[in-house]
């Protein structure tokens, strides 16, 4: 095996691009049948083949012999199929019964409703069976094990191959190609490829204690031990994360190069009121509370961005109720003090109206330096034509300082005299196109500063991948005076009765409660009828005598708004709702929440729902009802009981569900993440980010790092590569 330490970086060696342009058919072992199987698996080039990594390794020294397997053992057996029979159980149901033998003894293996197994596992086939040993009619038996075919009947299996630590490749029921075949093809490809070019400079590699590329590629496929495999995986996973971080860094550099922003005045949080005419000072003097440390810190970060000529591009994360709105408002006021305008955009019209309502209260009485009242307007699809005309005129002339609306504000006919700051609430995706749209809003085609806010906590590692091209500020402290919410998972009938008793006594104290209906699969209509049923039952049984209101997604907006208003005015004691209450309700007098069938909700959703209580000084309780049928659901509900910290919960969610669901489609480059895991490779990710930063500062636009920039072009999404490297 080659040792990387003495090899010069970048020099010679196979490049990934060369391997990508070589078809697998160049391999001698790639017979026509195998070629067509490889195609089914999506493997066309030698690079595709080499980046088909083992799913796991079988340590053959720890393999269990059939003769010593006991009922209850969970183990892998390497055994040859002796007999295979199918029985129909009627209808589509069938059972395939095998006898397998490994030289030490025989074992029964059965598969239910997998009729194709009888073709896959014909007598003579050597395969790995992974499963739990059970018992049937006094005989040891393994039911529905995981199977990896090692060799078909008559195929030679060299003994050295079987003596080693064996890679197990992903298999598919659709092809005959075995893990063993893949290992052979990969072995040939590795031999013929020789050394690989290494995109990482040698000094950096040794400083980071990372393996060289050649050894890593060989050892991930043919490790001598678990340790060797892990060392190799670490290097290759690092490469994946580094490419991603470099792409994000480049994206930033490209945007910054083409950007023309404003140099704005800072947010002066001056208690001495040296400039009492400033809108910021006026608001501070009317606020009934001091800002929290976290709010002050974040305002400092935003203020520094405003002063920079580069446009701000910042994400503000903070749990529900952490006080993001005041922060955004102060930033908007500072911009208005500098005679530029601001826009606040939210996902829905209802939310826009709520924001407008609460912000109007805060800014009423504020006077702009020009001597006119501070201009705050709401512009939505419901705004009447004459009103709309007036607002558009005000935006064009500059007498409207801040406009609130939906994200559609960016795409309509809305023109500003000079848009200095755009605040976007609850919008994670904010791509290049939207930025371009924003730019056109300003009279001079400059880029306004941009603040994106989210109340969905995202684990740090995921944020680094999702928002690596944004600066991130976090409000990690709730305003004082909030009483933490107690969460109780009612596991028994008795505890459920206690939940309803808690609702009744809250109402008796003059407080209010929410009941959240189960998530129903299917249409809104099904959900609505289920919710109606819940109300009827509660009204007759547990909550008889209380005044119940119902909101669901099938109601007309006006009707829904009326019910919510009734709840706010305390005419309704208990608001029964589908998940439509997730966003935007703020009733501090509501202190109890009962979530029915809680195990069906995800962590993020439960957290958002629970955030509707505990909004005042009163102690609040959230009851989670219903059974958890899976261990995952148990973990979710126990996590909800143990913490109210949104970031801690997001971390649990990431561990449970993996990154796929969190990343979604936002970062296309993540399709390159084959070995790296955001849930477990946090340290590598931080390392990759630091290294990316260093490399980009030493080599702007990766100049001089040819192998690296070639790999980025090769492995990034085409549009992304086009965008990053067009110059």
User: Residues interacting with ligand ADP, by CB under 6 A?
Assistant: 289, 291-292, 295, 318, 320-326, 455, 479
**Residue 14: which of Mg ion, ligand ADP, none does it interact with, CB under 5 to 8 A by kind?**
none
* Of 330, 439, 432, 429, nearest in space to 666 by CA: 429
Among 9-17, 318-326, 410-418, 488-496, which window interacts with Mg ion (CB under 5 A)? 318-326
Look at residue 295 and give the partner it binds from Mg ion, ligand ADP, none, a contact being a CB closer than 5 to 8 Å depending on partner kind. ligand ADP
Comparison of 183 and 611: residue with beta carbon closer to ligand ADP: 611
Contacts of residue 656, defined as CB under 8 A and 6 or more positions apart, other chains included, come to: 603, 632, 635, 636
323 binds, among ligand ADP, Mg ion, none (CB under 5 to 8 A by kind): ligand ADP
Q: What are phi and psi of 128, to 5 degrees?
A: -95, 135
Query: How far is the C-alpha of 645 from the C-alpha of 649, rounded, in Å?
Result: 6
Minimum CB distance to Mg ion, residue 582 (Å): 13
Q: How far is the CB of 323 from Mg ion (least distance, A)?
A: 9
Q: Hey, which residues does 75 pair with through a beta bridge?
A: 131
Task: Measure CA 356 to chain center.
Answer: 30
Contact of residue 321 among Mg ion, ligand ADP, none (CB under 5-8 Å per partner type): ligand ADP
CB of 377 to ligand ADP, least distance (A): 20
Question: What is the nearest approach in angstroms of ligand ADP to the Cβ of residue 453?
Answer: 7
What does each C-alpha distance from 397 to 241, 309, 442 come to in angstroms? 48, 24, 12
**CA-based angle 637:584:587, to the nearest 5?**
85
Q: Go through 449-484 and write b for each residue having 16 or more CB atoms within 10 A of its CB, e for each that does not.
A: bbbbbbbebbbbbbbbbbbbbbebbbbbebbeebee
Please name the helix (run of DSSP H) or strand (run of DSSP E) that holds residue 185, with its range, or none: helix 179-193
The entry of ligand ADP, Mg ion, none near residue 241 (CB within 5 to 8 angstroms by kind) is: none
Beta carbon nearer to ligand ADP, 455 or 622: 455
CB of 611 vs ligand ADP, minimal distance in Å: 8
Report the residue number, 318 or 375, with the smaller CB distance to ligand ADP.
Answer: 318
Q: List, in sequence order, the alpha helices (H) in 259-375.
A: 279-286, 293-307, 324-337, 349-363
Q: Show the 3-state SS of 86-116.
A: EEECCCCCEEEEEEEECCCCEEEEEEECCCC
Q: How near is the Cβ of 37 to ligand ADP at its closest, in Å? A: 54
Q: Which of residues 325-364 bind Mg ion (CB under 5 A)?
A: 325
Number of residues located near Mg ion, criterion CB under 5 A: 1
Distance CA 448, CA 504 (A): 51
724 binds, among Mg ion, ligand ADP, none (CB under 5 to 8 A by kind): none
Token couple for 521: 């699969």
Binding segment for Mg ion (CB under 5 A), chosen from 120-128, 320-328, 673-681, 702-710, is: 320-328
Nearer to ligand ADP by Cβ, of 241 and 298: the residue is 298
Residue closer to Mg ion (CB basis): 178 or 325: 325
Contact partner at residue 616 from ligand ADP, Mg ion, none, CB < 5 to 8 Å by partner kind? none
Closest to ligand ADP by CB, 95 or 619: 619
Min dist. Cβ of residue 60 to ligand ADP (A): 56
Structural element, H or E, at residue 132: strand 126-136
The C-alpha angle 230, 235, 236, rounded to 5 degrees, equals 95
The rounded distance, in Å, linking the Cα atoms of 189 and 181 is 12
Q: Which does 291 bind (CB under 5 to 8 A by kind): Mg ion, ligand ADP, none?
A: ligand ADP
Nearer to ligand ADP by Cβ, of 344 and 685: the residue is 344
- Of 544 and 617, the one with the shorter C-beta distance to ligand ADP is 617
Is the Cβ of residue 321 or residue 347 nearer to ligand ADP in the bound state? 321
Q: Shortest CA distance to 356 belongs to which of 394, 338, 329, 336?
A: 329
* Distance in angstroms (rounded) separating the CA atoms of residues 315 and 471: 6
User: What is the length of the chain?
Assistant: 727
Give the largest Cα separation in the chain, rounded. Answer: 95
Q: Of the two residues 79 and 343, which places its CB atom closer to ligand ADP in the complex?
A: 343
Q: Which does 292 bind (CB under 5 to 8 A by kind): Mg ion, ligand ADP, none?
A: ligand ADP
Determine the residue with CB nearest Mg ion: 325
Nearer to ligand ADP, 471 or 477 (CB): 477
Closest CA to 7 of 213, 313, 296: 213
Nearest distance in Å: CB 425, ligand ADP: 8
Q: Least Å distance between CB 168 and ligand ADP?
A: 48
**In the complex, what is the shortest distance from the CB of residue 253 to Mg ion, in angstroms, rounded to a whole number?**
32
The least distance separating ligand ADP from the CB of residue 49, rounded to whole angstroms, comes to 50
Residues making contact with Mg ion (CB under 5 A): 325
């Amino acid at each position: 095996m080659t040792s990387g330490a003495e090899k010069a970086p970048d020099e010679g060696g196979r490049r990934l691009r060369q391997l990508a342009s070589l078809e697998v058919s160049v391999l001698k072992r790639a017979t026509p049948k195998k070629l067509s199987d490889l195609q089914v698996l999506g493997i066309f080039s030698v690079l595709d083949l080499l980046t088909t990594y083992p799913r796991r390794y079988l340590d053959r020294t720890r393999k269990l012999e059939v003769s010593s397997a006991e009922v209850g053992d969970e183990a892998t057996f390497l055994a040859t199929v002796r007999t295979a029979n199918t029985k129909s159980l009627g209808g589509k149901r069938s059972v395939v019964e095998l006898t397998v033998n490994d030289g030490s003894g025989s074992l029964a293996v059965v598969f239910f409703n997998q009729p194709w197994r009888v073709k896959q596992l014909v007598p003579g086939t050597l395969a790995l069976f992974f499963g739990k040993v059970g018992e049937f009619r006094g005989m040891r038996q393994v039911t529905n094990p995981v199977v990896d075919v090692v060799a078909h009947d008559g195929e030679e299996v060299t003994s050295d191959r079987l003596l080693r630590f064996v890679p197990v490749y992903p298999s598919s029921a659709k092809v005959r190609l075995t893990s063993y075949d893949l290992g052979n093809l990969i072995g040939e490809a590795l031999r013929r490829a020789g050394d690989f070019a290494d995109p990482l400079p040698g000094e950096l590699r040794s400083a980071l204690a990372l393996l060289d590329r050649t050894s890593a590629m060989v050892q991930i496929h043919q490790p001598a031990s678990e340790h060797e495999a892990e060392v190799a995986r670490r290097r290759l996973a690092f490469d994946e994360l580094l490419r991603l971080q470099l792409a994000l860094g480049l994206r930033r550099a490209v945007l910054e190069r083409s950007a023309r922003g404003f140099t704005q005045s800072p947010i002066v949080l001056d208690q001495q009121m040296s400039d009492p005419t400033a809108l910021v000072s006026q608001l501070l003097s009317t606020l009934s509370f001091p800002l929290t440390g976290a709010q002050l810190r974040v305002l400092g970060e935003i203020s520094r961005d405003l002063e920079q000529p580069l446009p701000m591009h910042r994400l503000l994360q903070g749990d529900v109720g952490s006080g993001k709105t005041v922060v955004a408002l102060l930033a908007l006021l500072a911009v208005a003090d500098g005679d530029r305008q601001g826009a606040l955009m939210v996902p829905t019209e209802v939310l826009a109206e709520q924001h407008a309502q609460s912000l109007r209260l805060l800014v009423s009485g504020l006077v702009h330096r020009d001597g006119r009242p501070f201009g705050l307007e709401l512009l939505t699809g419901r705004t009447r034509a004459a009103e709309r005309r007036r607002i558009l005129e005000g935006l064009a002339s500059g007498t409207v300082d801040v406009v609130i609306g939906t994200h559609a504000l960016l795409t309509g006919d809305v023109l500003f005299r000079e848009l200095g700051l755009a605040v976007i609430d609850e919008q994670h995706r904010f791509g290049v196109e939207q930025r371009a749209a924003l730019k056109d809003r300003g009279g001079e085609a400059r880029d306004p500063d941009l603040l994106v806010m989210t109340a969905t906590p995202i684990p740090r590692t995921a944020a680094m991948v999702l928002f690596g091209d944004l600066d991130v500020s976090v409000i990690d402290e709730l305003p004082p005076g909030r009483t933490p919410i107690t969460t109780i998972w009612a596991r028994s009938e008795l505890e459920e009765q206690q939940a309803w008793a808690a609702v009744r006594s809250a109402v008796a104290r003059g407080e209010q409660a929410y009941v959240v209906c189960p998530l129903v699969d299917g249409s809104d209509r099904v959900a609505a009828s289920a919710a109606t049923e819940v109300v009827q039952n509660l009204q007759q049984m547990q909550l008889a005598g209380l005044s119940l209101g119902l909101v669901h997604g099938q109601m007309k907006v006006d009707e829904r708004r009326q019910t919510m208003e009734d709840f706010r005015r305390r005419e309704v004691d208990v608001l029964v709702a589908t998940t439509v209450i997730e966003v935007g309700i703020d009733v501090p007098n509501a202190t109890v929440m009962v979530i029915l069938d809680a195990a069906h909700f995800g962590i993020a959703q439960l957290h958002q729902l629970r955030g509707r209580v505990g909004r005042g000084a009163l102690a609040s309780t959230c009851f989670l009802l219903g059974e958890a049928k899976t261990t995952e659901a148990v973990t979710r509900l126990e996590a909800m009981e143990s913490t109210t910290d949104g970031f801690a919960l997001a971390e649990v969610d990431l561990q449970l569900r993996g990154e796929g669901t969190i990343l979604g489609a936002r970062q296309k480059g993540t399709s390159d993440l084959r070995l790296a895991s955001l849930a477990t490779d946090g340290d590598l990710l931080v390392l990759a980010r630091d290294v990316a930063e260093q490399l980009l500062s030493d080599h702007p636009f990766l100049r001089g790092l040819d192998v690296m920039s070639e790999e980025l072009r090769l492995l990034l999404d085409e549009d992304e590569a086009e965008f990053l490297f067009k110059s």
